[in-house]
Structure 1
Amino acid sequence: MNLVPFRSPVALSDAGIWALQFAALPRDIAGLAKGLQGLLIHEHMPNLYGITLSDRQRSEPHVRSAWEILERIAVQDARPLTQPRAPGERFAGCCRHYALLLVAILRSKGVAARARCGFGAYFTKGRFVDHWVTEYFDAAQGRWVLVDAQIDARQRALFGIDFDTLDVPREKFLVAGDAWRLCRDGGADPQAFGVLDMAGLWFIASNVIRDVAALNNREMLPWDVWGGMALVDSEIDPDFIDRLARLTHEPDGHLEELRAVYEDPRIAVPSTVFNAVLRRPEAVSPSGLSA
């Protein structure tokens, strides 16, 4: 198994000079997840922590790179990352920000890690919600482990989660390609996969593209749109998404093919993407596009 592509911070997971602070962080997954929970707050859950997001925080979910996330954390509070911030002082992001920072930290410590885009089955009963987690290689067990660093004690209680979120069962989080295969085989209703009022095969297909990009070290925002992403089912190339789903199911067996398919303009992240939340094109920072 070739773990080299996932051992070093690159592009969006490269924290730059801010990575110097990672040395003081714990090496264990539980400690790292708890540390991130003291630095970040989910943009859609401020009420859970008794706060209202500030103007600064409301702009933060659109930050793409690890180095800029950490820079903003430092500007707001210059204390070491080992010191938790009060909820009202944390960086406001989404699931993808937790996943990206954990990838950045683990890679800085020489642990193979990657962000995975897919759907969580543990937020709303009967639905698979658009979600990102971190996957890291546990050398002692010889396997990849899914970690949801976002879930703290309050969220565990809110969502009634009864499993270990530091080792998420594969049936609780479906990488996007597995969700696509499940729906294509008639094992699930595509309308159960999405977020808010957006769901369906088109949504799943777009997340398959995002997952392929993430496996090529381009961990984009969940609402970044580019290339072959469709807004309706009729615009999907199902055979193409079938191929991507097969590759992402066992990425370690298809690394060269994943690298090759990333050259396809339907997959490759361009210099400018469309931010579907802010409804505008945005330039992706040079660090986000570097090899």
Structure 2
Amino acid sequence: MRETLRMNFDRYRRPIAMSDPGRHAALFDGLPRDTGALAETVQGLLIHQHVAPAYGVTLSRDQQAQSHVRDVEKILGDIVTRDGRPLSAARATNERQVGVCRHFTLLHVAMLRTQGIPARARCGFGAYFEKGKYLDHWVTEYWNEGKKCWVLFDSQIDNRQRELFRIGFDTADVPRDQFVVAGDAWSLCRCGRTDPSAFGILDMHGLWFIAGNLVRDVAALNNREMLPWDVWGAMRRQDSELDLAFFDRLAIVSLEPDAHVDELSALYCDERVSVPGTVFNAELNCLQEL
């Protein structure tokens, strides 16, 4: 088990692909060496597209388009183009880079990895936004050396959102029943313990939606943290079109990725999971090359 953990640490200890700051790597120099302080740094740089009104901000069309930026290098480039100060300087709320939960998570993961802290983005569902609902959401999962375990951290939730959503737990250590990774959501629904209609976002709910997030989570565990509305491979819009046995296996592997290191990599070689060169952006209703 120790060797398996070491292998997975190596997978998540350094920025790679979308989490790689690239030519902007020096911007991470001098950032605080603390998971909570790094989350506060992220919160001072980004604003959530759909929570902006809670800060008194009305986003322009150009600002809303920023939520389609996929990689950290481009996110950082946009931030410093508008404001060249160090990342530790919080931007005014109406001047922050616009994104969604996935962007907060990916930037937090990139900062942690730059400091050698194993971290990965997890796709699933938050139970703390709307009573009785599990809403589409992403959080950071990082290795807590003191506790010797992986811990969930919601880097999006600042004091304003804590008040807005009436969150009573520590978002630096999110309980597993408050953020349900996609594989757990799938398993809970498949065994009849939870209603699939409780999982989703807006008017999109059901087993098919959970399946889509399960593919996104497995991709993220392979360091391909896609947009929440990117569609490819095994994702479908009808429950009847799902290969249930295939998703059952994805759920098992994603729930214990450190116990299935080889299979996690093998699954990403399957065209139903691997991210192709072109994906369908469901929000913009178009194909996009990566």
TM-score, normalisation: structure 2 = 0.97
Partner of residue 256, structure 2: 250
Q: Secondary structure at the match of 1:278?
A: coil
What is the aligned partner in structure 1 of residue 113 from structure 2?
107
Deviations 1:148-173 (A, max 9, x none): 00001110011110000010000100
- Counterpart for residue 131 of structure 1: 137
Q: 2:84 aligns with which of 74, 78, 82?
A: 78
Counterpart in 1 of 2:65?
Answer: 59
Which residue is 1:15 aligned to?
A: 21
Matched, 1:50 2:48: no
Q: How large is the Cα RMSD of the aligned pairs?
A: 0.7
Which residue does 1:282 correspond to in 2? 288
Q: Quick one: distance in 2 between partners of 1:47 and 1:58?
A: 13
Where do 1:21-36 residues align within 5 Å?
Answer: 21-36=27-42
Which letter does structure 1 place at the counterpart of 2:142? Y
Identity among equivalent pairs (%): 58
Deviation at 1:82, TM superposition (A): 0.6
Alignment of 1:174-185 (within 5 A): 174-185=180-191
| Superposition pairs of residues 230-245 of structure 1, within 5 angstroms | 230-245=236-251
CA distance in 2 between partners of 1:54 and 1:78 (Å): 22
Letter in 1 for 2:141: E
Instruction: Find the aligned partners of 1:114 and 1:207 in 2 and give their Cα distance.
Output: 15
| Equivalences for residues 86-97 of structure 1 within 5 A | 86-97=92-103
2:274 match = 268
Name the residue aligned to 1:219: 225
User: 2 CA distance for matches of 1:243 and 1:60?
Assistant: 35
Q: Equivalents in 2 of 1:103, 1:65: separation in Å?
A: 12
Question: In 2, distance between residues paired with 1:157 and 1:179?
Answer: 26
Deviating beyond 3 angstroms after TM superposition, the runs of 4 or more aligned structure 1 residues are: none
* Cα displacement (A) at 1:55: 3.2
- Look up the match of 1:288: none
* CA distance, structure 2, for counterparts of residue 210 and residue 199 of structure 1: 16
Amino acid at match of 1:175: V
- C-alpha separation between the residues in 1 aligned to 2:149 and 2:281? 35
Q: Are residues 1:173 and 2:164 paired? A: no
Question: How many angstroms does 1:202 deviate by?
Answer: 0.2
What secondary structure, in the 3-state scheme, does the structure 2 residue paired with 1:212 have? Answer: helix
Partner of 2:127: 121
One-letter identity of the residue aligned with 1:9 = P
Compute the displacement of 1:5 (Å).
0.3
Please state how far the C-alpha of 1:38 moved relative to its aligned partner: 0.6
Query: What are the Cα deviations for residues 173-201 of structure 1, in whole angstroms up to 9, with x where unaligned?
Result: 01000000000011100000000010000
Number of residue-to-residue matches in the alignment: 284
Aligned equivalents of 2:175, 2:167: Cα separation in 1: 12
Report deviation, 1:17. Answer: 2.0
Q: Where does residue 186 of structure 1 map in the other structure?
A: 192
Where 1:209 maps in the other structure, the secondary structure is helix
Aligned-residue offset at 1:282: 0.4
Query: How far is 1:141 from its partner?
Result: 1.1
Per the alignment, residue 289 of structure 1 pairs with none
Q: Aligned equivalents of 1:23 and 1:138: distance in 2? A: 22
Find the aligned partners of 2:64 and 2:214 in 1 and give their Cα distance. Answer: 27
TM-score computed with the length of structure 1 as normaliser? 0.97
